[in-house]
Amino acid sequence: MPISVCVHPNAGKSELVGFSDDAWQVKVSAPPVKGKANAELLALLSRVLGISRSHLSIVKGHTSRRKFIHVDGMSEAEVTKRLSSSAASSK
């Protein structure tokens, strides 16, 4: 199932901020150079969702702040639950 993500690179720390403007807002400390921000985004989502990095892939928006991430092997409800829980605990 794809999830919509808006990435904010060059942040002080990598974190899931919350959900707004129809997308999950994510800060990553890596710069948007040579795929570093994308790699850090997928690593962060992997940790937050508790799944292997190999279950995540960017399906649209490789060079854009707005990305669509495919999550393999997890229902939409479970993804939303885990992301919401992580965003709430980081506040």
Q: State how far the Cα of 16 lies from the Cα of 87, in Å rounded to an integer.
A: 6
Tens of pLDDT, residue by residue over 43-87, are 999 999 999 999 999 999 999 999 999 999 999 899 999 999 988
Q: What is the pLDDT of residue 87?
A: 86
How is domain 2-89 classified at the CATH fold level? Conserved Hypothetical Protein Mth637; Chain: A; (3.30.1200)
| Share above pLDDT 90 across residues of the chain, in percent, rounded to a whole number | 90
pTM: 0.93
DSSP for residue 23: E
Sign of the dihedral through C-alpha 37, 70, 87, 25: positive
Q: Which residues contact 17 (CB under 8 A, 6 or more apart)?
A: 8, 25, 26, 27, 87, 90
Question: What is the residue extent of each domain of the chain?
Answer: 2-89
Q: What is the pLDDT of residue 89?
A: 78
